[in-house]
């Protein structure tokens, strides 16, 4: 049934007909957005050559699309090894503009296969201005926008403050062909405020491109707790917001020398891992003997840890709207993790666990303060 005046606008001889039919097409698409979609998380090791890493990731994205994926997400900074293990100005040459060659390559795949793609990139915004950025591409190949990582860590072997300017996009959600998605990056995953503000914009799925792992010298003593904390807090985001959460991590053992791809770098310092239980709580180890998850050297360089690098723990996963693990990849194997999800469950969960309804927004003013003292 046509709305008033529809017969005139629908007339093939009317100059306004193309615009009217475009309007109808858009409305039909929104009303008939699929509720069941398949996510694809691309987990792999990275080589020294950025071009090879891009080629590999594009190939994995194509495979995922052919296997039925609707939304594909890369791991954090997939084009390079994790260069933030050292502070080296030469590494700024690894950055690229957005839009740029990588986004154009992914846009081509998105158009060809009709898939949504989230690509994590080292963005050169201007001379001296760099970001850790995720590009969001819709199923028609359109670049919907970018999210620039808001929380920037500075821990042993995770010296991101040297490279990345804190994001200025705020927390965002994008309406795509396959649902409304929010994107955050790695260190953001420890902050419930980030997940909440993204979910409050209607995000049904939160994606977290990630690069996290163990200091080898700490793994035996603290490894299980560190990984458990990482997984638990993201599952909690799913519970608190009644949405799906997808975390995409890399695999492989990368040392400072390997990350530099032959460039001389500074020596690594032992200490608390990038994303640990204490890091989640906002603590940093400052003294020997403190009850934090550190080496016995309490942050001091030792022969056993200097240059030992990071053992990335993989285990990319998707959590359901009640925080349950729906699927998880291996700790050390490449994977295209395909996970079907039903977006209708977001509405069901939020209706039966109405956390958004019962928020006391009148009492949360102090959240904008650094500390209540």
Q: What is the CATH number of the domain that holds 202?
A: 3.60.110.10
Q: How far apart (Å, rounded) are the C-alpha atoms in residues 108 and 128? A: 30
Cβ atoms of 82 and 351 within 8 Å: the answer is no
Tokens of 33: 């957005």
Query: With the C-alpha atoms ordered 134, 64, 315, 247, is the resulting torsion angle positive or negative?
Result: positive
Task: Look at residue 320 and give its three-state secondary structure.
Answer: coil
348-370 confidence digits (pLDDT tens): 999 999 999 999 999 999 999 99
Residue 48, burial from CB neighbour count under 10 angstroms (0-12, 13-18, 19+): middle
Q: How far apart (Å, rounded) are the C-alpha atoms in residues 206 and 287? A: 36
Number of domains in the chain: 1
Q: What confidence score (pLDDT) does residue 34 get?
A: 75
Cβ atoms of 295 and 215 within 8 Å: the answer is yes
Residue 370 lies in a domain: no
Question: Does the reported pTM lie above 0.75?
Answer: yes
Residue 140 lies in a domain: yes
Cβ neighbours, 10 Å, residue 371: 6
Q: Spell out, as residue ranges, where the chain has pLDDT lower than 70.
A: 1-33, 257-306
Q: What confidence score (pLDDT) does residue 285 get?
A: 35
Q: What confidence score (pLDDT) does residue 266 get?
A: 33
Q: Is the peptide bond before 58 cis (omega within 30 degrees of 0)?
A: no
* Percent of the chain clearing pLDDT 90 (strictly above): 77
Q: What confidence score (pLDDT) does residue 258 get?
A: 58
Cβ atoms of 275 and 93 within 8 Å: the answer is no
Residue 106 lies in a domain: yes
Which of 281, 204, 191, 179 shows the shortest CA–CA distance to 234? 191
Q: How far apart (Å, rounded) are the C-alpha atoms in residues 65 and 116? A: 10
Q: What confidence score (pLDDT) does residue 256 get?
A: 78
Residue 74 lies in a domain: yes
Q: What confidence score (pLDDT) does residue 113 get?
A: 98
Q: What confidence score (pLDDT) does residue 202 get?
A: 97
Q: What confidence score (pLDDT) does residue 337 get?
A: 98
Tokens of 265: 């770098």
Q: How far apart (Å, rounded) are the C-alpha atoms in residues 299 and 268? A: 11
Q: How far apart (Å, rounded) are the C-alpha atoms in residues 187 and 191? A: 8
Tokens of 32: 């008939």
Q: How far apart (Å, rounded) are the C-alpha atoms in residues 160 and 304? A: 24
251-302 confidence digits (pLDDT tens): 999 997 655 554 433 333 333 333 333 333 333 333 333 333 333 333 333 4
Cβ atoms of 307 and 267 within 8 Å: the answer is yes
Residue 13 lies in a domain: no
Cβ atoms of 338 and 68 within 8 Å: the answer is yes
| Parallel/antiparallel/unpaired status of strands 317-319 and 310-313 | unpaired
Strand order in the sheet with 335-342: 143-148, 129-137, 116-126, 71-73, 36-43, 335-342
Q: Where in the sequence is the domain holding 182, given as residue range(s)?
A: 36-354
Q: What confidence score (pLDDT) does residue 270 get?
A: 30
Q: What confidence score (pLDDT) does residue 362 get?
A: 96
Active-site positions? 76, 149, 186
- Give phi and psi for 320, each to the nearest 5: -80, 180
Tokens of 103: 């986004």
Residue 265 lies in a domain: yes
Residue 76 CA, distance from chain mean position: 6
Cβ atoms of 316 and 329 within 8 Å: the answer is yes
Residue 268 lies in a domain: yes
Residue 310 lies in a domain: yes
Cβ atoms of 183 and 199 within 8 Å: the answer is no
Which of 121, 137, 125 shows the shortest CA–CA distance to 57? 121
């Amino acid at each position: 049934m046509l709305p008033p005046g529809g017969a005139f606008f629908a007339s093939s001889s009317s100059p306004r007909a193309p615009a009217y039919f475009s309007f109808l097409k858009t409305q039909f698409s929104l009303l008939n957005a699929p509720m069941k979609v398949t996510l694809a998380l691309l987990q792999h090791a990275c080589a020294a050559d950025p071009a090879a890493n891009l080629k590999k990731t594009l190939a994995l994205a194509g495979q995922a699309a052919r296997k039925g994926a609707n939304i594909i997400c890369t791991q954090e900074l997939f084009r390079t090894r994790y260069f933030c293990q050292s502070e080296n100005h030469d590494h700024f040459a690894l950055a690229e503009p957005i839009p740029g060659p990588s986004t154009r390559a992914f846009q081509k795949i998105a158009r060809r296969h009709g898939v949504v793609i989230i690509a994590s990139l080292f963005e050169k915004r201007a001379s001296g201005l760099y970001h850790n950025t995720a590009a969001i591409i819709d199923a028609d190949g359109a670049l919907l926008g970018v999210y620039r990582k808001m929380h920037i860590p500075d821990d042993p072997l995770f010296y991101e403050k040297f490279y990345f300017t804190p994001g200025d996009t705020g927390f965002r959600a994008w309406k795509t062909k396959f649902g409304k998605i929010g994107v955050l990056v790695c260190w953001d995953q420890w902050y419930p405020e980030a997940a909440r503000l993204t979910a409050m914009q209607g995000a049904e799925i939160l994606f977290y491109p990630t690069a996290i792992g163990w200091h080898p010298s700490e793994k035996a003593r603290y490894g299980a707790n560190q990984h458990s904390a990482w997984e638990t807090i993201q599952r909690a985001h799913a519970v608190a917001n009644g949405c799906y959460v997808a975390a995409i991590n890399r695999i492989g053992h990368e040392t400072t020398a390997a990350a530099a791809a032959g460039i001389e770098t500074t020596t690594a310092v032992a200490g608390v891992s990038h994303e640990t239980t204490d890091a989640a709580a906002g603590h940093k180890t400052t003294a020997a003997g403190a009850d934090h998850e550190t080496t016995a050297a309490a942050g001091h360089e030792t022969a056993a840890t200097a240059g030992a690098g990071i053992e990335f723990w993989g285990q990319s996963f998707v959590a359901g709207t009640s925080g349950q693990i729906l699927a998880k990849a291996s700790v050390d194997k490449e994977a295209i993790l395909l996970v079907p999800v039903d977006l209708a469950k977001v509405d069901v969960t939020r209706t039966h666990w109405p956390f958004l309804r019962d928020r006391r927004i009148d009492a949360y003013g102090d959240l904008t303060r650094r500390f209540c003292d």
